[in-house]
Amino acid sequence: DQQRTERLVTVVESLEEKQKLAFTAIIRKQQRFNDDLQKYVRMCEDEVSGMTTDHEETSNDEFMKYLAAHFADRPRTFNALRAFLIRKNNRDIKLLKNSIRADHDYKQLYKSKDKLIANLNEDQAGTVEIFQAIINRACPLIVNKACIAHLLKMAKEPKGRRQTALSQKALTAQSILKEISITYPVMYEGCLTEITKGIMNDKDNIAAEEELELLAELSKSNPGHRKYDSNLIKRLRSYVVDGKVGQANLASVILGNMKNADRSMADLVESLSDELSLKARNLLSTLTSLSQFALYTPRLLTPYIDLIYTESNPEWVAYDKLPELSKQKITGVRLLVNYLTACRNEMEPEEHIITKTLSILWDLLERTCDGALTDNTNSAETSHLRLGASQAIVKLTHYDKYLNELTVPKFERLSYTLQDTCFYVRLEFAEFLMKGLQTEQIHPRYYSLLFICAHEPEESLLKQIRSFIQKRLSSLEIKQAESTVLDSSLVRLVHLLAHHPDFTITTEDLMVFAQYIRFFLSCVATAENVSFLYHIAQKIKLSKDMVSAELSDNSYVLSDMTSLLIKYKCKESSWPLNAYAGRVTLQSKLYKSLPPGAVQNETMEKSYLPQAFIEKLEEEERRKLGDKRARTSIKGGG
């Protein structure tokens, strides 16, 4: 056995890389055929016991044809397999079974094979040649159980840094052992003591990775059945807690697949989950270990799985609690912004400095928390950077020197910050805008962005925004036939929504977008200005989109939607909807009037809303009116 093993290692060591891959393919192909032939043996056993049904006989024939297809002479192979099956010789069936068993050593395999061939020679001589080929293809003679002990000895890599012939043989032996652990794990039965000894002799938790890798593969091959002594379990747990990432990974695989892991590993998983913090000493090892427990003992992770989403890389932490590197990045961005702020009235900086700084700020808006989780970077850092970049862009573009950096698409891009996945980013940016608008430190155009908060899931923030807009409205002098900044925000809002990446004309999406218009009307519309708002909506339909002419239809859809919702609002509030006599000019960067005549008439006459959406909207309005009447009736009756 030792000599055969040494020859095997010598041969494999001499192979080129492609040849080694071919050798591995041969071993795995043999193992697959071994599985198939074991199934054939079970068929023979069932035939002897008389348990085969007519349906199974047909299925058996198909399977034997499949086996025969592996050989050049298919008909002879099929006939030999069928003859052996119907022969019902219990003794020879057992010999066939023993001649391909992966848990038998070389001598046992050869003995069973020779005895079977001798028996066939006596009464089925015509099948001998065929069965020799069949057994040779399935019998694990190249690598077998007898090799394991010798390979384990050879795999002990000599100490020292020099690459010697002995160390090369050790590496080759390790690679063969790994392949056997994957392909024929059952061969290791009886050799586990030698493997675990290597793990236990690792006094400093720095070696034994070869043994860990082997034991991990063996554990996966028989999950939930292996038992280990307490000393080995203690050593494996130490790898999980204090080992390198690779050691923690392999040890977790072993522990997660051991018998009763759901109970015996509960305290370890709890301890690891408690350490999920970006400041944790071995965070990568901890996450690696938990990922293996999640795969093999998922019930252990169930109580803590939320921590993986929230605690390991939270979307937001206070600035003071950010890592130093994150603070450095945020401060670096602040430095650039402060420099441009200070230079707003100077000839400097050069144009490329302005462009580069603003480009960095816009790029920061694209750094999402999801991306941070994928890139294994700090989510809270990206949230602070998105917020800071959004605020900086608003501040800088308030100055004439940098205003040309705020194109219409970029202005509308800022609205996405108010729909950020992180609540604190939405909150801080909304409050920043409201404060700037109230103190008139930022342009009134930013009122329109606040309406994008219509779907804000935090009710308190939504109420805060609605209250702010309504108070600002009441503080302005509202006169019939006079536009205000809030009224004209409707134009910007419609244009923003028309260019929103989520906009489609499906009924479901239009119902979502209707909420933006409803929110606007709930904040802005009054009996005094509703005719003006309706006129604005109609005016949009008489214009084309100046940013993307091909998206003009989106604006027409929203124009029709706004007009319809204004009518519903008037009906609900008992407001008159009179013709607006004044003159309205839309922002030239957003819309330009269509040429008068046929084009205008055709656009105005066409309804751009899908009928299904109109019907759904009407149904909602009828339900709302019905609820309102019911409430009125109850009050009257009371």
Question: How does pLDDT run across 481-537, given as a tens digit for each residue?
Answer: 345 676 679 999 999 999 999 999 999 999 999 999 999 999 999 898 899 999 999
Task: Work out the pLDDT band at 446, boundaries 50, 70, 90.
Answer: very high
Is 593 strand, coil or helix? strand
pLDDT digits (tens, 9 = 90+) for 62-79: 999 999 998 989 999 999
Per-residue pLDDT, 365: 93
Per-residue pLDDT, 478: 44
Distance of CA 474 to the CA centre of its chain: 47
Q: How far apart are CA 287 and CA 311, in angstroms?
A: 12
pLDDT digits (tens, 9 = 90+) for 19-50: 888 888 888 898 899 999 999 999 998 888 88
Per-residue pLDDT, 449: 96
Nearest to 592 by CA among 534, 559, 554, 547: 547
Cross-strand bridge partners of residue 258: 226
Q: How far apart are CA 155 and CA 171, in angstroms?
A: 6
Burial of 4 (0-12, 13-18, 19+ CB in 10 A): middle
Task: Work out the pLDDT band at 479, boundaries 50, 70, 90.
Answer: very low
| Contact in structure between 292 and 252 (CB atoms under 8 Å) | yes
- The DSSP annotation for 304-348 comes to GHHHHHHTSS-S---GGGS-HHHHHHHHHHHHHHHHHHHTTTSSP
Mean pLDDT value of segment 365-374? 81
Mean pLDDT value of segment 448-471? 94
| Contact in structure between 365 and 413 (CB atoms under 8 Å) | yes
Task: Work out the pLDDT band at 159, boundaries 50, 70, 90.
Answer: very low
Number of H helices, E strands in the chain: 32, 2
Share of the chain above pLDDT 90, in %: 38
Tokens standing for 230?
């307490």
Nearest to 99 by CA among 83, 81, 84, 117: 117
Tokens standing for 623?
């339900």
Q: Which long-range contacts (C-beta less than 8 Å, at least 24 apart) are formed by 235-242?
A: 235/199, 235/200, 235/202, 236/199, 237/268, 238/205, 239/205, 239/212, 240/268, 240/272, 240/285, 240/289, 241/268, 241/271, 241/272, 241/282, 242/205, 242/282
Q: How far apart are CA 315 and CA 424, in angstroms?
A: 9
| Contact in structure between 542 and 600 (CB atoms under 8 Å) | yes
| Contact in structure between 279 and 314 (CB atoms under 8 Å) | no
Beta-strand runs (E) in 521-614: 543-545, 591-593
Higher pLDDT, 247 or 635: 247
- The domain spans of the chain are 1-138, 184-308, 310-454, 480-637
Q: How far apart are CA 597 and CA 590, in angstroms?
A: 21
* pLDDT at residue 414 greater than cutoff 50: yes
- Say which residues have a Cβ less than 8 Å from residue 250's Cβ, sequence separation at least 6: 209, 212, 213, 215, 216, 239
* pLDDT at residue 638 greater than cutoff 50: no
* pLDDT at residue 101 greater than cutoff 60: yes
Task: Work out the pLDDT band at 184, boundaries 50, 70, 90.
Answer: confident
Is 53 strand, coil or helix? coil
pTM attached to this predicted model: 0.54
R_g of the chain computed on alpha carbons: 38
| Contact in structure between 405 and 439 (CB atoms under 8 Å) | no
